[in-house]
Each structure stands twice: as structure tokens, then as C-alpha cells.
Amino acid sequence: MPSPLDVFRDGVLAGHVALVTGGGTGISRGIAHAFARFGADVCIISRKQDVLDRTAEELRAATGRKVLGLAADVRDPEAVARAVTHTVEHFGKLDTLVNGAAGNFLAPAAGLSPNGFRTVIEIDLIGTFNAARAAFEPLRASGNGLVLNISATLHYHGTPLQIHASAAKAGVDAITTNLAVEWGRFGIRSCGIAPGPIADTEGMKRLAPGDIADRARAAIPAARFGTIEEIAAAAVFLRSPAAAYVSGHVMVIDGGQCIATPSLMGVSL
């Protein structure tokens, strides 16, 4: 089975250094893997060192690149700043920050505790700002910097049971456009990817349990879920010289889901 990544030439990211938050698992792991496959050295960060160690070893074995795993909670600005500093000390620079760390669950607005709402805002939105702010100086020094934020399509419509994640991801998209405007003059592009339902992710397990997955699939014009490699391919494109003039754009990759039905996962009240 050909991979969507096969269209890129080997070495297209040679000499690049990327830091990927949430890179231990899921979509962010897929992006870290793809970046390493095409020649980048990569640092992955998340909360769990054992998960990072396992992923880093797997990516090293699969790609032959240097992959560093550093435990840091994106909600902690100092921990994120330490991870950025460590990455630069270890690899000599930083060209790309991928903000992929996220937390989510299904919860009705009227039953969600303030702390539950705040927790998702802190991970997805404030975590994205924390990492971008910490990475600014090395990205500027790179001369070819990129902030790549992973958001969602939840906030394009009202999505039931997702008020916390919708609010967070709307903010993440705002960060994407704002940084494109503020940091373009420093040689830093800012782009986003808004994935729809992607198979084999923690998000899908949490958001589409049981037969909800079948209903969700039926509502997607492409009649299937996306793959992690399809998101990773977009990330490689956005990082590559082919996207050198792309900034401030959020690329929706959802098989047409969000224009066909406002109700992600086919959930209705």
C-alpha cells in the first residue's frame, strides 16, 4: 500500500531541527516520524517519559535520525522553555515547532466543571502559546522558522459536547494567524492543520466510542476516516520549500466532513 509520504524526496528536510509537542503518540508522533524520515532531527515532548522513550527509540530505529524525548507539560511555561533550550543545546538550533499536544473528552456544557473547561484550554490553547513564546528566539535565529499548530474543525460550527475543545481550538487558530502577522518579519511562518476524524488516534477513541464511529464515517463525503500519514504529509509539505510563501493558513484535512455536516462524529442532541 503506497504511503502519501512517498511523494516527497528523501532528504527534503535534511538539516532541519523540529520540536513536536505531544509527539509521543497519535498525530504528533506521526508528524515527528515523517520529519525524521525526511532528514530532520526531532525532539518530542509530552508528560510521560516512558512513552517518549519508547517512541524516540522506535523513530530512531525506523529513520536513523536523532530523536530526543523530553518530559514537559505544555501547561508549565518554564518546563517548555527548558525543553526548547535543551533541544537547541542538543541539536544546535531549532527550525520548526509543532504544537500538537492536546487533551479532550466528551462533556455537555451544563455538566462540565470549570476545572474541566480550564484544563483543556490550558493544554491546547495556553500550551500552544507557551511553546511558541519559548521557541521564538531560536526560530528567529533559524531564519527559516515555522510554527505549525494542530487545531480542529470543531469550532466551525457548534459541536455538541465539545465546548471546551472548540473554544481552545478557535484560540489556537487565532494564534496561527496572529503569529503569521507578527513573526513574518523575523523569517518565521505560522501555519495550521485542522484534522477531521483520523483513525487510530486517542482522540477518536475518546470522541467516537462504539457505534458513533460508524455514524461518523457515514457522514464523511470521503466515506472513511483520515490517516495519521495523511496529516503528516501535509506537515511535511508545510515545512518544505514548496510552502515557503504559505503563512497564516489553516489547512483543513477532513475528507470534506466539516462542509457536509456540522456535527462532528454524527453526534446530535
Report the interface residues with ligand COA, using CB under 6 A.
102-105, 107, 112-113, 115-116, 119-120, 202-203, 206
| Dist. CA 167–CA 106, nearest whole Å | 14
Strand ranges for the chain from DSSP E: 17-21, 41-46, 67-71, 96-99, 145-150, 188-195, 250-253
| Dist. CA 229–CA 2, nearest whole Å | 11
Q: Among residues 81 and 112, whose Cβ is nearest to ligand COA?
A: 112
> Which residues touch 129 (CB under 8 Å, ≥6 apart)?
175
3-state DSSP call for residue 77?
helix
Tell me how far, at minimum, the Cβ of 113 lies from ligand COA, in Å. 3
Q: Among residues 17 and 235, whose Cβ is nearest to ligand COA?
A: 235
- Inter-CA distances, 32 with 26, 86, 175, 236, Å: 10, 17, 21, 10
Q: Among residues 114 and 241, whose Cβ is nearest to ligand COA?
A: 114
Q: Among residues 5 and 107, whose Cβ is nearest to ligand COA?
A: 107
Q: Measure the CA angle with vertex 39, ends 37 and 45; round to 5°.
A: 75
Residue type, 218: A
Query: In the block, which residue shows the cell 456535527?
Result: 263
Tell me how far, at minimum, the Cβ of 120 lies from ligand COA, in Å. 6
Tell me how far, at minimum, the Cβ of 106 lies from ligand COA, in Å. 7
Tell me how far, at minimum, the Cβ of 163 lies from ligand COA, in Å. 11
User: Residue number with the shortest CB distance to ligand COA?
Assistant: 103
Q: Among residues 119 and 144, whose Cβ is nearest to ligand COA?
A: 119
With contact defined as beta carbons under 8 Å apart, do 57 and 36 qualify? no
Tell me how far, at minimum, the Cβ of 141 lies from ligand COA, in Å. 31
Tell me how far, at minimum, the Cβ of 203 lies from ligand COA, in Å. 3
| Dist. CA 72–CA 70, nearest whole Å | 6
Q: Among residues 104 and 263, whose Cβ is nearest to ligand COA?
A: 104
Q: Among residues 49 and 85, whose Cβ is nearest to ligand COA?
A: 49
| Dist. CA 56–CA 51, nearest whole Å | 8
Tell me how far, at minimum, the Cβ of 175 lies from ligand COA, in Å. 17
| Dist. CA 64–CA 229, nearest whole Å | 19
Q: Measure the CA angle with vertex 255, ends 249 and 259; round to 5°.
A: 75
